[in-house]
Structures are given as structure tokens and as C-alpha cells.
């Protein structure tokens, strides 16, 4: 994929592998990168992409293989020495220095690589980087007061303060709306000055398509294929593994749409769940503003919006994992605003959390049973059988460790666990995140079955089409406020939905 | 150097004392594993157990071994309000705030012991503490054997509680993912409170046994805190039987160290081992999973 | 605390320079007054003053580690005792003067710190704390048990020692040194790196910070200061013994002072030290009660005022000066 010149490659990683006990995270990965090159790395979640960043950046020691940078063997170098040598990275989940200002966050890199840089030029550099990353106004804010998306910008800014020769970007585009992706692409392109090499790990295909000449696809820790970006993206193999249904636009099996279309025409009863002008946030950062919504029994409510819009915060607020700063939450006639989480669960709200949150030291069956609380043995068994009926694989693996299964199986376990409490309302938060399309279909089929049984559900999704397929009504959340609500069909065709997602607005 | 019988006796005593150490260390270990709390007042809980045994005997004439359950209850009922009033409110303030609070607690308790019970060295005097059990060349105080048996029984009971009972799965779930545990309906604060009580009870009962077998002072706690840390580090955190193994190994090493270098070096052996293992393998020798 | 980077848009340098000059002048004046103090104060207050100065030095060192570096140590007594033993030994054996002996003690403290750093810095967070506690206990037991340093009963210093007013001036000098170290360590580029390591060590090394060296620098500085304080205490008592010199209280007290005064606050050590010594004097006849009350105060402050008295004062001043004005973080 790269021309072998007379000079040594900037980066030459050969046979990189990482094993954790029996689990192979990376296996036999070769990367050769010259100055000025940009390489995209894609692959499903759990494919080992972030492990690769860790191996190259020095946070993770490889189990096998060598890494050469500018001709020098850096395989055993710690992260700090690699950074000083010119390898900068970002974290997928931002890790800023929380108690320091944004400007100080940048200064850390500056002062560590050049302790005697003049104050003036350091400041000018910082200002320029912050300007570039759209953080200029936040220079004196504490990093802990930044919302998530701005923290991601800070990740990039902090890496740039190192003036890296090789920049490793780990999912910097995740959660951005289209217009922001456009900005990000422009920013990345401006960083490609002909000498700096960039490795971009992404889910957002547009970014790699527009920024990287070469593309590598990883699956199950191994290189599946690599080559020119256009060729790789066009290959059937890659399409099958990765792009199956990327954003619901292309080649979706049609049967998924049918169950949702059947209108239940429920007679409007009193709502099961009501949120009245709820506000909430983390520390200084307010995420939800004055948000009101309700769900009547048997209804499926879709909560849509881009990453960072406040969807997960909303889910946490309803299950009381996060306190509200203002407003009221009612469930089945009770004001549950100040109830502790476990009491809310006992009252009948289950929350299938983002990221699955499986208990690692419990077996699959224990993970399920632990959620069936205060019921007799017969009832527990009945519920267990129901979950096993819904997901037979869980019955097969019942004695396995909770986290020893694949991502999709763990997600099935998380859904099953939520059902074990025999809840009257379930919040499903991003259950499709990072799963292969086939697995997503299977999970949503299960949800459709639950809907037919009359379960009230709140479906929080980034994947608009999937959510709208199953939802009766939908709310679009943007920057912590509901900006659009209505029956799923109406929302689907609303111009404003397209504005939000395709960036024709602001 | 010493004759083989002495060495054999030292080894056996080490194993037996190590079993008792393991019981006390279990108290520190489950609190650390479930609550992510370094309980720096652990040593004082242990000493409190020893005083409880002493006064139970002095005031009521009840044999401390017969009163072990009562002593466990006493410790748990001291621990419960401590958790409720001092630690639970700090739950979301980071691990250091709680640790420092237990540190404050430790110096309060230590000095209260001095104020209330004087700084004298005490021992719970029972016949079985001094009368040796003799089998062939072996000669160890009866209490060593009794204490070991009780400790291993209790450790097994705690193991069964954690792996087999519903409280056990609540406890493991809360240790893994406290937030997710709360959301599926586990009252994590209650689990933590009970864990803290259980930990204190283990420390207290172990303290009584040690108080009969050896002597103690108001300030003995610090040494046992560190010894118990050494046990955990050797055995691996959150691993009940690892803790037992860690206790036995440490007990033997202490005995051998004391025999070879002099009795004053017993605790030093534990500390040096602790520092060495901690800096070479922070996750412990036996790994860290149950 | 965040004055290390002049904010953009404000002409930073001149105001910074002015502040530095003002600070240096105030420091110089305070130092001058301290040097004169023994001549003006009664014997009792010189005694108290010596104790206070010593405590402030220990607390400054602890604050550097815990407040700025995130290294919560329970091993202050290791270095304190070490300093005491080295100073006493040198005074007795080599005929060295006190200043030189103190200097060598500082070196000895740094040497042990360097030696221990490999192991200790592998431990993160709470485990570091436990590790330092174990180190302190191990050193104490070692000194109790090995016969070389007078064993459990200790040694007397056999040479003539400076009188208390003179030692007070030594302590004032040591405090000046500690203040200089703290000013350098908390107001410089080094402080940016140190706080980055405190906030997230892994992320810091990803931007090139050699976390080990940064922590080591702070650890060395703190250990040197603590060792010299230990040496002064030995000179004051004219004796060393393991239970006193390596006593847990030398680990507890600085921690208590800083938490009372304000963790990571520049004035924390001074305010906390004054409060602590005052309570200590009031309860001088009831040492156990004093320590127990310290524990109570600790628990209360951690719960209700985690930034100590300085933090409380700061919050009060802020509320006074800017009523209603909230500098919220906008989106």
C-alpha cells in the first residue's frame, strides 16, 4: 500500500499483537506509513481498533511484534518517550486534566517537550490551536466544566500542542452531526501539511473517505483487508462485515418496518410516565433544559438525537441514576423525583443502560436472577424461562461468566436482565451501539415482540431509522431540549429531522 | 541452628496464627473489594474486638469463645452507624475522602482506647491460651488450634455467603458496577452498609482470637492493619480463599522470620514482603478474581 | 493557583512581575520579622513558635505531594525520623556543625526517597498511601530492632547544641527554604506538569510528560524538607529514639494540618498549622484527647469543607465580593 522509498518509513509496525489472557485483541497487524500519509482504520466495535491506538501510542505493551518510528525501534518505549519523539494521540473517551484550564491542558504538552519555550510563543501557539479547534472562548475554563463534545475537541487540541509527526485520532468524529463532521474534515485536512502522518480510527465513514488515501479494515483483531480507500470501501467483503446497514439508508431488510406500522390506536389513558420541565446535568455542565414528555401504557417512545444531545442523560434521570436540578418526574401516579434508583426499579422502571454494564463476577444466569428481586422462586424461574425463550443463546451460555460473551450476546443479556424485574416501563439506551447489523436486527426483533406484548418502552437511539421503525411517537433532542415531537411517521418525514442530521441548519 | 522440633513447631504455629490473620484480613479485603474503601480504621476494629472479648470475660464471666457471635454483633453495630453517618454521605466524593475519614476514625478510636482502658498491654487470659496441645514432638497452645479452626470455618462461611446467597450476588454486582446495580434495584448503600458490618465483624472476631492467643495494646491496630494488607496483597483482592492462602503463607514467614532473626522482626518480615510484592506485582500473587 | 499561565488578552508579564516582586517583598519582610522574633518574644512563645514553624514546613512538604501531586503519603515519619537520626549521628560522630548536618540529612532523605521511588510509584492512588504507611512502619521496626542506633531506647546528642532562640532562627530559615521550594514548584511550568500527573497520569504521559521524574522531583523536594525538619527536632530535643522520631504522629500531623488548612491551597499549611498548634496548646495536658479531637475535626472538614479553612474563607470572600454574580460555564 505504500511505496517503499529510500528513507525509512515514518512508522513501521510489523506483526503487532496483543493478548489479554486468552482473548486476542490484536493479531499480526502490519502498518507502514510514510510522512504525509493518512491511513484510515475502520472495523466494527470491539474489533481491536482502540487497542491498536494504545499499542502505537505506548499505553499498551504489545505481546508480540515490533514498532519502528523514523527507523528507530520504539517497541519498548513508554508512552511519554513516544510522545516526545512525535507521536500524539487522542482518547476515544476524552481524558482531559479536569482540574486545569483548557489553556493549561495544552501547556502540559508544550512544557514537557520544550520546557524553555518562551512564554509569548507558547501562548501564541496555544491561541492558534484553540482557534483552530473552536475552543478559543473556553481557554480559561476548567476542563471539567466542558461538555462532552468540547472535551473531544480538547483531546485533539492537546495532541496538537505536541506538534506530532504522527497523529493518532481515535474516533474524534463520533457523535458529531453532519455539519460538524464537515468542519472536522476541514480541520484534519489543514493538518495534512505534507509531512505529518495521520492514522484515523473512525466509525464515520465520510471522514476516512475524505481524509485518507489508504484504508485498513480490522475485524476480530486482525487486518481483514487494506488498500486504497475507494477500493476497500467498494469491496463486497468489507460491505458484508462492516457496512451492512450503516445508517439505515441502504439495503435494510424490509420486514423490520412492518410491525411498527401496525397502529395500535390505544385509547388515550393517563400517562404511565411524565416528566415535567426537568433539568439536569453533571457538575457545572447542564445537559437537560426544561424537558417535558410523557408515555402512556403500551406506547413506544423513541428518543432521538445525535451523540451528546442529552439522550443518555435523560435515560439516567428517569431511572434516577442522576438527580434532577429542577422539575418533576411522575410514574404511575407517584412523584418519584427524589426516589433512590433501587426504589424506582422496584416500582417498575427498568433501564437497559448504554454500554451494557454486565456484572463481570456473576455468571449469565446470576446476572439475570439478581435483577428479579423480591419474588418467589417459581416466579423467578418463569421469568428466566421467558428471557431464555427470547434469547436462546443465553440459556446455552447460562453458566458462562457474564462478560465472557461477545458484544451482541452481552447486549442480549443486558436486555434480558432489564426484563427480569418484570418492569412496566423499560428504557433501552443505545442497544444497537457497536453491533454488527445482523445482531442489531435480532435485538430489534426482540423489541418488536415485546411491543406486541404491550410493554411500554422508551427507545433511546442514535440510529434514527431503527428507532422510528419501532416507535409510536418520537422526540428529537438537540442540546438538551426537545426540538421536535410527534407520531413516528410524521417525524420521519419532517424536514427539521433532516436539517438536524444533515446539517443544513446552523 | 535451632533443632528440627523447634522449627517444626514454629512452622505449625505460623500456619495456625496465619489462619487467624486471614480471618481479620478478610474483613479488610471485602470492604476494599466491594466498597473500594481502604479502611484505615481496620486495625482499631480488630483491637476493639479484643477489648470486647476481654470485658465480656471480666464483666460477665462469659468465655470469649462462647461470646464470639455476640462480639461480631457488637462490632457490626458499631460499624453500622459509622457507615451510615460518616461514610455513606461521602460516597460520591472520591475514594480519598472516605479513606481519610477512616484515618480520622482510626486516630479517634486509638486514643479513646488509651483514655478509657489505659495504655497497658492486655491479654485475655484463658486456660486454653497457655496449656499446650502436644502431639508427639509438636507443642502448640490449644488456642492456636481452636482459633485456626474457628477462623477457617468462618472464612468458608463468608465464601459461601458471597458465592451462593442472594446477598452474595447483590454484593458482587455492587462491587462490579455500583451504578448498574442500583438501577436494577439493588440498594447499593444497604449492601455497602452490610459489607462494612461484615468486615468489621470479621476483624473483631479475629481480634478476639488474637487477643486470647497473643497480647494487645490500644495501638496494636496499626501493625495488624499493615499485616492484613500484606495478606491481601499476597492473596489477591476479592478472592476469599486467596486471602486464606495469603494468611497462611504470611503466618509461616513471620514465624520463620521471628525464629531466624529474633521476635522483634516478625512484623518487619511482613512489611518487607508487603512492600516487595506490592512494588513488583501490585495486583497480588494469586491474581484478583474470585 | 492558576496564575501560571497569563490569560490571553491580558498583558500578562507586567502584572505577573509586579505580583512576584510584591510577593518577594512580603516574604522578605516576614522572614526578617521571624529572625527578630526570638529577641522580642517570651521563652514560651519562642518554644511554640519553633513548633509552629516546624509543623508548617512539614505541612508544606505534605501539601506539595498530596495537594499538588496527588501523592497522599502516610510516610512522612520515615523521612522525619531519618533526618533526626542522621543529624544526631553526624553531630555526635563527625563534629559537623548543625547547618552542615542538616544539609547532609536532606541528602540522606533524598537518597532514601530515590531508592524507594521505584517501588512506591508503581502504586497508584490509595495503594501509594498504604505503601508509604508500610514504609514508615518498616523503617521504625528496623531502627527498633537493629542494635546500631541505640535500639529501642535511642541516643543522646552529646555535643553542645544551639539554644531555642537560635533553633527558632534555623526553623525560620528552613521555612524560608520551604516557601521558596513551594513557590517554585507551584507557580512554575513544573506545577503545570505536576498537576497534569495528579489529574491523569496516563494522559499526561501521552502528551510527553515523564510522570515518574515529575513525581520523583516533588518527592525528593518534600523528603529533603521533612528530613531537615526531623534534624532540627533532634537538635531541639537533644535526643533520638525510634518511637518518638519515627512516630506515627509525624505522618498524621502534617496531613491533619493541610486538610484543616486546605489541600492544594498555597496558604493551607500556614493557616492549618496555626490552628493545629493552638488546639495542641489548649489541650497540652491531654495529648490523647488532642489527637482524638484532631480526628474529629478531620472528619468534619472532609465532610463539610473539603478545601479546609482556606477554602471556606475563599468561598466567603467570593460570596461577599460578588453577590449574585455567578460565573457559570456556558455551553
Mark yes or no for CB contact C4/A104 under 8 Å.
yes
A187 phi/psi in degrees, rounded to 5? -65, -45
pLDDT at B175: 92
Interface of B with A in 162-221 (CB under 8 A): 166, 169-170, 172-173, 175-177, 179-189
Share of chain C above pLDDT 90, in %: 53
Of B259 and A149, which is predicted with more confidence?
A: B259
Q: Residues B181, B182, B186, B189: what is their CA dihedral angle, to the nearest 10 degrees? A: 110
Measure the CA–CA gap between B47 and C241, rounded to whole angstroms.
Answer: 26
pLDDT at B281 over 80: no
Going by pLDDT thresholds of 50, 70 and 90, the confidence category of residue B59 is very high
Same domain, A350 and A478: yes
Among all chains, which residue has been given the C-alpha cell 433532542? A477
Same domain, A166 and A281: no
> What is the total count of domains within chain A?
2
Measure the CA–CA gap between A488 and B233, rounded to whole angstroms.
Answer: 56
Q: CA A348 → CA A422, A457, C131, distances in Å? A: 7, 12, 46
Chain C residue with the nearest C-alpha to that of A92: C203
Mark yes or no for CB contact A83/C193 under 8 Å.
no
A303, A458 contact by CB (below 8 A): yes
In a domain, A103, yes or no: yes
pLDDT at A307: 62
Q: Which long-range contacts (CB under 8 A, 24 or more apart) does C22-31 make?
A: C23/C183, C27/C176, C27/C179, C31/C172, C31/C176
Mark yes or no for CB contact A119/C12 under 8 Å.
yes
Mark yes or no for CB contact B274/C145 under 8 Å.
no
A434 phi/psi in degrees, rounded to 5? 75, 15
How many Cβ atoms are within 10 Å of A157's Cβ, its own excluded?
26
Chain C residue with the nearest C-alpha to that of B280: C119
A301, A475 contact by CB (below 8 A): yes
pLDDT at C323 over 60: no
3-class SS at A25? strand
| Bridge partners for A170 per DSSP | A201
C256, C66 contact by CB (below 8 A): no
The average pLDDT across C155-184 equals: 91
In a domain, A74, yes or no: yes
B195, B28 contact by CB (below 8 A): no
Mark yes or no for CB contact B184/A421 under 8 Å.
yes
Q: 3-state SS of chain A: helix, strand, coil percent to 5?
A: 40, 25, 35
Q: How many helices (H) and strands (E) does chain A have?
A: 20, 20
Measure the CA–CA gap between B127 and B142, rounded to whole angstroms.
Answer: 9
Same domain, A209 and A150: yes
Neighbour-count burial of C41, counting CB atoms closer than 10 A to its CB (0-12 exposed, 13-18 middle, 19+ buried): middle
pLDDT at C327: 42
Report which of C106, C63, C69, C100 is spatially closest to residue C84, judged by C-alpha positions.
Answer: C106
* Boundary residue ending a domain (A200, A227, A243): A243
CA distance C27 to chain A (A): 25
CATH number of the structural domain B4-280: 1.10.3470
B114: which chain C residues are within 8 Å (Cβ-Cβ)?
A: 288
pLDDT at A251: 39
How many Cβ atoms are within 10 Å of A291's Cβ, its own excluded?
23
Going by pLDDT thresholds of 50, 70 and 90, the confidence category of residue B84 is very high
How does the average pLDDT of chain A come out, rounded?
85
Measure the CA–CA gap between A296 and A300, rounded to whole angstroms.
Answer: 9
ipTM: 0.87
pLDDT at A246: 39
CA distance A416 to chain B (A): 11
What CATH number should be reported for the domain holding residue A439?
3.40.50.300
Chain A residue with the nearest C-alpha to that of C201: A97
Same domain, A32 and A162: yes
CA distance B250 to chain A (A): 27
Chains that touch C (3 or more CB pairs under 8 A): A, B
A396, A423 contact by CB (below 8 A): no
A488, A471 contact by CB (below 8 A): yes
Same domain, A180 and A311: no
Same domain, A275 and A236: no
Q: How many CA atoms lie within 13 A of A381 on its CB side?
A: 3
| Bridge partners for C221 per DSSP | none
Angle at C65 between CA C64 and CA C66, to 5 degrees: 100
Among all chains, which residue has been given the C-alpha cell 506539595? C64
- The pLDDT tens digits of the residues spanning B145-166 come to 999 999 999 999 999 999 999 9
Q: From the list B223, B262, B275, which residue is nearest C135 (CB)?
A: B275
Same domain, A382 and A492: yes
Report which of A468, A477, A471 is spatially closest to residue A456, judged by C-alpha positions.
Answer: A471
Same domain, A77 and A222: yes
Same domain, A404 and A342: yes
The reply to whether B34 touches chain A by the CB within 8 Å rule is: no
pLDDT at C204 over 90: yes
Q: Which long-range contacts (CB under 8 A, 24 or more apart) does B261-268 make?
A: B261/C145, B262/C145, B264/C141, B264/C144, B264/C145, B265/C141, B265/C145, B267/B223, B267/B226, B267/B227, B267/C137, B267/C141, B268/C138, B268/C141, B268/C142, B268/C145
In a domain, A314, yes or no: yes
Residue burial C302-327, b: 16+ Cβ < 10 Å; e: rest: bbebbbbbbbeeeeeeeeeeeeeeee
Q: CA A31 → CA A200, A209, C75, distances in Å? A: 13, 19, 47
Domain boundaries along the sequence of chain B: 4-280
Mark yes or no for CB contact B275/C119 under 8 Å.
yes
Helices (H), chain B: 4-35, 42-55, 68-81, 95-117, 127-130, 142-164, 166-176, 178-183, 188-213, 221-235, 240-261, 266-280
Measure the CA–CA gap between A23 and A28, rounded to whole angstroms.
Answer: 14
- The pLDDT tens digits of the residues spanning A347-406 come to 999 999 987 899 988 999 999 999 998 889 999 999 999 999 999 999 999 998 888 787
| Bridge partners for A217 per DSSP | A42, A225
Mark yes or no for CB contact A83/C204 under 8 Å.
no
pLDDT at B210: 93
Q: What is the extent of the structural domain holding A143?
A: 11-243
In a domain, A253, yes or no: no
How many Cβ atoms are within 10 Å of B163's Cβ, its own excluded?
14
pLDDT at A244: 40
Question: pLDDT tens digits, chain A, 506 residues: what are they?
Answer: 445 446 788 999 999 998 876 567 888 999 999 999 999 998 766 678 888 999 999 999 999 999 999 999 999 999 999 999 999 999 988 899 998 999 999 999 999 999 999 999 999 999 999 999 989 999 999 998 887 778 888 999 999 999 999 999 998 887 676 778 888 899 999 998 888 999 999 877 888 889 999 999 988 788 988 999 988 888 877 766 554 443 333 334 444 444 444 444 445 578 999 999 999 987 666 788 899 999 999 999 999 886 667 888 899 999 988 889 999 999 998 999 999 999 999 999 999 998 789 998 899 999 999 999 888 999 999 999 999 999 999 999 999 888 878 778 889 999 999 999 999 999 999 887 767 677 888 899 999 999 999 999 999 987 788 888 999 999 998 878 898 899 999 988 888 877 666 543 33
Going by pLDDT thresholds of 50, 70 and 90, the confidence category of residue C94 is confident
**Cβ neighbours of residue C24 closer than 8 Å, sequence gap 6 or more:** none
The average pLDDT across B82-108 equals: 91
Question: Considering just the CA atoms, what is the radius of gyration of chain B in Å?
Answer: 19
Same domain, A356 and A234: no
In a domain, A249, yes or no: no
Among all chains, which residue has been given the C-alpha cell 514465624? B255
Mark yes or no for CB contact A104/C205 under 8 Å.
no
Among all chains, which residue has been given the C-alpha cell 462490579? B176
Share of chain A above pLDDT 90, in %: 54
DSSP string, C164-202: HHHHHHHHHHHHHHHHHHHHHHHSSHHHHHHHHHHH-HH
Q: CA B129 → CA B9, B56, B67, B141, C234, distances in Å? A: 16, 16, 16, 6, 43
Chain A residue with the nearest C-alpha to that of B185: A342
pLDDT at C151: 80
In a domain, A250, yes or no: no
Reading the block at residue B19, the C-alpha cell is 489462619
pLDDT at C15 over 80: no
Same domain, A182 and A324: no
The average pLDDT across C301-330 equals: 75
Among all chains, which residue has been given the C-alpha cell 498491654? B121
pLDDT at C16: 60
* Total residue length of chain A: 506
Neighbour-count burial of A149, counting CB atoms closer than 10 A to its CB (0-12 exposed, 13-18 middle, 19+ buried): buried
pLDDT at B13 over 60: yes
pLDDT at A8: 80
Same domain, A236 and A305: no
Measure the CA–CA gap between A298 and B274, rounded to whole angstroms.
Answer: 59
A229, A208 contact by CB (below 8 A): yes
Amino acid at each position: 500500500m505504500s511505496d517503499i522509498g529510500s528513507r525509512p518509513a515514518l512508522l513501521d509496525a510489523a506483526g503487532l499483537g496483543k493478548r489479554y489472557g486468552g482473548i486476542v485483541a490484536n493479531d499480526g497487524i502490519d502498518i507502514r506509513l510514510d510522512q504525509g500519509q493518512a491511513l484510515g482504520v475502520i472495523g466494527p466495535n470491539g474489533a481491536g481498533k482502540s487497542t491498536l491506538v494504545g499499542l502505537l501510542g505506548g499505553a499498551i505493551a504489545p505481546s508480540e511484534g515490533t514498532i519502528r518510528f523514523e527507523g528507530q525501534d520504539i517497541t519498548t518505549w513508554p508512552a511519554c518517550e513516544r510522545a516526545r519523539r512525535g507521536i500524539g494521540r487522542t482518547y476515544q473517551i476524552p481524558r482531559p486534566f479536569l482540574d486545569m484550564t483548557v489553556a493549561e491542558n495544552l501547556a502540559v504538552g508544550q512544557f514537557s517537550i520544550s520546557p524553555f519555550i518562551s512564554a509569548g510563543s507558547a501562548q501564541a501557539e496555544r491561541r492558534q490551536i484553540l482557534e483552530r479547534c473552536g475552543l478559543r472562548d473556553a481557554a480559561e475554563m476548567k476542563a471539567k466544566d466542558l461538555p462532552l463534545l468540547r472535551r473531544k475537541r480538547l483531546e485533539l487540541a492537546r495532541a496538537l500542542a505536541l506538534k506530532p509527526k504522527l497523529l493518532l485520532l481515535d474516533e474524534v468524529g463520533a457523535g458529531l452531526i453532519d455539519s460538524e463532521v464537515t468542519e472536522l474534515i476541514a480541520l484534519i485536512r489543514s493538518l495534512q501539511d505534507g509531512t505529518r502522518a495521520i492514522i484515523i480510527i473512525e466509525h464515520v465513514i465520510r471522514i476516512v473517505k475524505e481524509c485518507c488515501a489508504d484504508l485498513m479494515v480490522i475485524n476480530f483483531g486482525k487486518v481483514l483487508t487494506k488498500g486504497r480507500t475507494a477500493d476497500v470501501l467498494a469491496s463486497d467483503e468489507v460491505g458484508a462485515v462492516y457496512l451492512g446497514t450503516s445508517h439505515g439508508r441502504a439495503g435494510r431488510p424490509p420486514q423490520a418496518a412492518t410491525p411498527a406500522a401496525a397502529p395500535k390506536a390505544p385509547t388515550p389513558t393517563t400517562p404511565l410516565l411524565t416528566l415535567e420541565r426537568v433539568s439536569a446535568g453533571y457538575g457545572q455542565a447542564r445537559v437537560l433544559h426544561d424537558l417535558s414528555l410523557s408515555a402512556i401504557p403500551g406506547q413506544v417512545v423513541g428518543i432521538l438525537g445525535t451523540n451528546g444531545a442529552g439522550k443518555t442523560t435523560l435515560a439516567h434521570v428517569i431511572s434516577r441514576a442522576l438527580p434532577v436540578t429542577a422539575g418533576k418526574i411522575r410514574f404511575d401516579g407517584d412523584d418519584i423525583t427524589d426516589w433512590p434508583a433501587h426504589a424506582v426499579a422496584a416500582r417498575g422502571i427498568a433501564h437497559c443502560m448504554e454500554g451494557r454494564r454486565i456484572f463481570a463476577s456473576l455468571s449469565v444466569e446470576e446476572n439475570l436472577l439478581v435483577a428479579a428481586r423480591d419474588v418467589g422462586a417459581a416466579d423467578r424461574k418463569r421469568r428466566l424461562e421467558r428471557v431464555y425463550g427470547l434469547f436462546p443463546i443465553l440459556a446455552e451460555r447460562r453458566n458462562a461468566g457474564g462478560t465472557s460473551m461477545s458484544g451482541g450476546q452481552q447486549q442480549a443479556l443486558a436486555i434480558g436482565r432489564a426484563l427480569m424485574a418484570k418492569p412496566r416501563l423499560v428504557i433501552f439506551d443505545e442497544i444497537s451501539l457497536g453491533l454488527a447489523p445482523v445482531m442489531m436486527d435480532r435485538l430489534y426483533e426482540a423489541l418488536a415482540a415485546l411491543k406486541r406484548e404491550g410493554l411500554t418502552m422508551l427507545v433511546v437511539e442514535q440510529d434514527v431509522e431503527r428507532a422510528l421503525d419501532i416507535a409510536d411517537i418520537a422526540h428529537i433532542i438537540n442540546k438538551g431540549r426537545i426540538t421536535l415531537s410527534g407520531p413516528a411517521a410524521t417525524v420521519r418525514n419532517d424536514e427539521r429531522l433532516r436539517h438536524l442530521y444533515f446539517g443544513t441548519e446552523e | 541452628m535451632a533443632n528440627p522440633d523447634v522449627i517444626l513447631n514454629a512452622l505449625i504455629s505460623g500456619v495456625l496464627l496465619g489462619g487467624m490473620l486471614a480471618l481479620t484480613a478478610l474483613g479488610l479485603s471485602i470492604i476494599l473489594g466491594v466498597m473500594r474503601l481502604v479502611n484505615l480504621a481496620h486495625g482499631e476494629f480488630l483491637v476493639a474486638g479484643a477489648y470486647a472479648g476481654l470485658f465480656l470475660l471480666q464483666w460477665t464471666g462469659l468465655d470469649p469463645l462462647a461470646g464470639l457471635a455476640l462480639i461480631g454483633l457488637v462490632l457490626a453495630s458499631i460499624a453500622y452507624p459509622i457507615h451510615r453517618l460518616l461514610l455513606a454521605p461521602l460516597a460520591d466524593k472520591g475514594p480519598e475522602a472516605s479513606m481519610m475519614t477512616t484515618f480520622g476514625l482510626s486516630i479517634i478510636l486509638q486514643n479513646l482506647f488509651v483514655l478509657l482502658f489505659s495504655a497497658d498491654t492486655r491479654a485475655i487470659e484463658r486456660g486454653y491460651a497457655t496449656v499446650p496441645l502436644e502431639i508427639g514432638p509438636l507443642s502448640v497452645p490449644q488456642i492456636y488450634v481452636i482459633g485456626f479452626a474457628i477462623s477457617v470455618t468462618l472464612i468458608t462461611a463468608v465464601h459461601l455467603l458471597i458465592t451462593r446467597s442472594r446477598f452474595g450476588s447483590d454484593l458482587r454486582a455492587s462491587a462490579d458496577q455500583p451504578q448498574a446495580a442500583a438501577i436494577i434495584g439493588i440498594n447499593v448503600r444497604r449492601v455497602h452498609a452490610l459489607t462494612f458490618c461484615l468486615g468489621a465483624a470479621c476483624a473483631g472476631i479475629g481480634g478476639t482470637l488474637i487477643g486470647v492467643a497473643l497480647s494487645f495494646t490500644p495501638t496494636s491496630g496499626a501493625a495488624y492493619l499493615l499485616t492484613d494488607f500484606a495478606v491481601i496483597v499476597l492473596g489477591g483482592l476479592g478472592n476469599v480463599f486467596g486471602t486464606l492462602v495469603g494468611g497462611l503463607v504470611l503466618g509461616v514467614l513471620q514465624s520463620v522470620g521471628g525464629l531466624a532473626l529474633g521476635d522483634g522482626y516478625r512484623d518487619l518480615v511482613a512489611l518487607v514482603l508487603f512492600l516487595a510484592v506490592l512494588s513488583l506485582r501490585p495486583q497480588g500473587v494469586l491474581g484478583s478474581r474470585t | 493557583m492558576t496564575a501560571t499561565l497569563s490569560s490571553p488578552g491580558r498583558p500578562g508579564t507586567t502584572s505577573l512581575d509586579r505580583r512576584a516582586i510584591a510577593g518577594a517583598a512580603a516574604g522578605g519582610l516576614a522572614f526578617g520579622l521571624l529572625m527578630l522574633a526570638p529577641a522580642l518574644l517570651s521563652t514560651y512563645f519562642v518554644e511554640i513558635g519553633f513548633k509552629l514553624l516546624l509543623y508548617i514546613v512539614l505541612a508544606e512538604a505534605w501539601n506539595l505531594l498530596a495537594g499538588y501531586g496527588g501523592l497522599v503519603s502516610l510516610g512522612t515519619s520515615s523521612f522525619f525520623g531519618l533526618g533526626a537520626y542522621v543529624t544526631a549521628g553526624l553531630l555526635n560522630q563527625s563534629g559537623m556543625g548543625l547547618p552542615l548536618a542538616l544539609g547532609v540529612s536532606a541528602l540522606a532523605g533524598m537518597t532514601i526517597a530515590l531508592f524507594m521511588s521505584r517501588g512506591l510509584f508503581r502504586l497508584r492512588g490509595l495503594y501509594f498511601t498504604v505503601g508509604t504507611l508500610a514504609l514508615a512502619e518498616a523503617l521504625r521496626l528496623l531502627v527498633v530492632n537493629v542494635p546500631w542506633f541505640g535500639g529501642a531506647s535511642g541516643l543522646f546528642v552529646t555535643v553542645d547544641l544551639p539554644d531555642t532562640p537560635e533553633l527558632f532562627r534555623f526553623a525560620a530559615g528552613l521555612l524560608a527554604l520551604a516557601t521558596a521550594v513551594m513557590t517554585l514548584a507551584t507557580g512554575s511550568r513544573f506545577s503545570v506538569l505536576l498537576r497534569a500527573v495528579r489529574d491523569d497520569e496516563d494522559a499526561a504521559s501521552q502528551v510527553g510528560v515523564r510522570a515518574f521524574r515529575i513525581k520523583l522531583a516533588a518527592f525528593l523536594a518534600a523528603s529533603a524538607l521533612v528530613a531537615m525538619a526531623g534534624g532540627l527536632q533532634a537538635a531541639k530535643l537533644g535526643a533520638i529514639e525510634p518511637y518518638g522520631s519515627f512516630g506515627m504522629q509525624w505522618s498524621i500531623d502534617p496531613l491533619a494540618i493541610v486538610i484543616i488548612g486546605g489541600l492544594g491551597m498555597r496558604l493551607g499549611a500556614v493557616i492549618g498549622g496555626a490552628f493545629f498548634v493552638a488546639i495542641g496548646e489548649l489541650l497540652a495536658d491531654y495529648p490523647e484527647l488532642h489527637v482524638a479531637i484532631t480526628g474529629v475535626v478531620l472528619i468534619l472538614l472532609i465532610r463539610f469543607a473539603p478545601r479546609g479553612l482556606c477554602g471556606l474563607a475563599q468561598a466567603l470572600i467570593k460570596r461577599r465580593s460578588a453577590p449574585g454574580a455567578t460565573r457559570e460555564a456556558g455551553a
